[in-house]
A and B are shown apart, each in its own frame.
Chain A
């Protein structure tokens, strides 16, 4: 158990512009990432399995990992300016979520606004890329992903152990 997976990292790209989605997807694939691209923050949250708190309360008080995470995402890269939910809003929601807060988040913007950049970085964004995003920017992602991977594996070990113990004490 706990075999290090050889699967490529999975990046979730969020951008309301079709062209930008195509470009970022292309850049990411060129760097051997597996990519899923969506056009809004709400679609991203749905994909990440982030459901509002009300449903969570119905769960039995057992130890549950990522309650509803349907797919595994290793990094989220999002545009800042999007209608309805901005990249910043999305960042906040992710960082406020117990299950998602450790996923590295990168913000992209075509506007060079220092206060905006700082706000994102201060609120948990790991990087801020100015558009047009270059391959050299995408190369900066790997260290964040590798760091997360180590963290993930630690968590997995702890959770496996905890599950083992729980099963011993409450047999089905």
Chain B
């Protein structure tokens, strides 16, 4: 892949992935890294909680609330939608629904992570010059 193609790709991914601020390209990566660190921890906690015999829906809802907050802050729409679904199931006390939607949520979360990782890798390859250019 030549440089120009990389740059175009990076610009395109940027447009569809987030509202860009080019002053500090590392800012976005920093935020995303933090998010995945936090959210991975939350996913583990939720997974644990879902294994319990009698589900504590309040606890699940609280954990999901945090997870949702962080996901929505980075603009992860699909993940956020799954979070809302999960919380609905919590409110209904629907264990099966929770488990199902959690599986879906993990899928979305993982898929987005891959996309973002690919983006950052590409951005690094394309070089700092690209990320410093405004493309609006």
* Residues of chain A having any CB pair with chain B under 8 Å: 17-20, 22-23, 26, 30, 81, 110, 131-132, 134-135
Nearest B residue to A109 via CB reads: B69
| Chain A binding surface, main DSSP class | helix
Pair A110/B19 contact, Cβ less than 8 Å: no
Indicate whether B14 reaches chain A with its CB closer than 8 angstroms. no
Indicate whether B35 reaches chain A with its CB closer than 8 angstroms. yes
| Chain B binding surface, main DSSP class | helix
Chain B residues with CB under 8 A of A135: 19
Pair B65/A23 contact, Cβ less than 8 Å: no
The residue in B31, B70, B73 that gathers the most chain A C-beta atoms within 10 A of its C-beta is B73
Nearest A residue to B70 via CB reads: A19
Indicate whether B9 reaches chain A with its CB closer than 8 angstroms. no
Known: A18-B34, A19-B31, A132-B75. A26 touches B70 (CB 8 A): no
Interface residues on B, range: 10 to 19
Chain B residues with CB under 8 A of A19: 31, 34-35, 38, 70, 73-74
Complex Cα distance, B74 from A131, in Å, reads 9
Complex Cα distance, B27 from A18, in Å, reads 13
Indicate whether B21 reaches chain A with its CB closer than 8 angstroms. yes
Pair A81/B19 contact, Cβ less than 8 Å: no
Nearest A residue to B71 via CB reads: A110
Chain A residues with CB under 8 A of B69: 17, 20, 81, 110, 131
Complex Cα distance, B21 from A30, in Å, reads 9
Nearest A residue to B66 via CB reads: A17
Chain B residues with CB under 8 A of A26: 21, 27
Pair A134/B65 contact, Cβ less than 8 Å: no
Q: Could you mark each residue 1-34 of chain B with 1 if its beta carbon is under 8 Å from any beta carbon of chain A, else 0?
A: 0000000000000000001010100010011001
Complex Cα distance, B30 from A19, in Å, reads 9
Q: Which 6 pairs, one residue from A and one from B, show the smallest C-beta to C-beta distance?
A: A110-B72, A110-B69, A132-B73, A20-B73, A19-B73, A19-B34
Complex Cα distance, B19 from A132, in Å, reads 11
Given contacts A17-B69, A17-B70, A110-B68, 6 further A-B contacts (CB under 8 A): A17-B73, A22-B27, A26-B21, A30-B21, A30-B23, A110-B69
